[in-house]
Amino acid sequence: MPTRQKSRRSSKGRSRTDQRSRSRARPRFAEPPPTLQQGLIELARDSARSFLWVGLALAVIVAIGGAAFGVWSLRPVPGYTSEGVESGSPFDVTFRVENTSPWFALSNMQIRCVLAHGGAPEMPSVAATDLQFPDGNTSTLEPGRSGTFKCPFHTLPGHVGGDDLGIALRSEIYFRSQYDLPMVRSFRVTDNVGPYFLNTRFLPPRWTGRPNR
């Protein structure tokens, strides 16, 4: 009896092994290559994805550029005028700076003065002195407010001597200011304004901008 059971089990094992070997031996047919229409559809899908990503990238770039342009166009811009030269040197006059922006302040503002002869502004600049802003502030000019300062051109040897009116009539003044860009405090704006000439049509004379600038 035990011998028959073993033979039956062995025959069953052989049959299962034979079935597995037959199933493995069956050839697998390769998938047919995609048709031209399927290839065109897949190519169109890839192209659509590429165009989508390009469109999203352009939209992001345009949004960033628009925001940057908006911040730059709304930046505060200083305007300069001069008081009348009633006595003394025309270079010792008091100048006035105004924040022309109604929204943003001129923060951490620094002003430098440039004296040019013959229309050449590439000369050493001097830092403005006696800078006085409203409310005792010395570095920030609030929207619509104005302050005063002076340009110590007498510290430039060889350029200004005493109250020489002839030198003043042949000279031009430029103002260079630096201040923080609103909403992007880490970025400093450099603003160049000028030239200003001694206008003797006013009584008393004062430094004004060129009519055509």
pLDDT on residue 23: 52
pLDDT averaged per 10 residues in sequence order, the chain, 213 residues: 49 54 54 67 75 77 65 79 84 92 91 79 80 84 92 73 73 92 79 91 88 58
Q: Is residue 165 helix, strand or coil?
A: helix
pLDDT on residue 16: 55
Say if residues 148 and 94 touch (Cβ distance below 8 Å): yes
| pTM of structure | 0.65
Architecture of domain 78-209: Sandwich (2.60)
pLDDT on residue 97: 94
Where along the chain do its domains lie? 46-75, 78-209
pLDDT on residue 29: 54
pLDDT on residue 35: 72
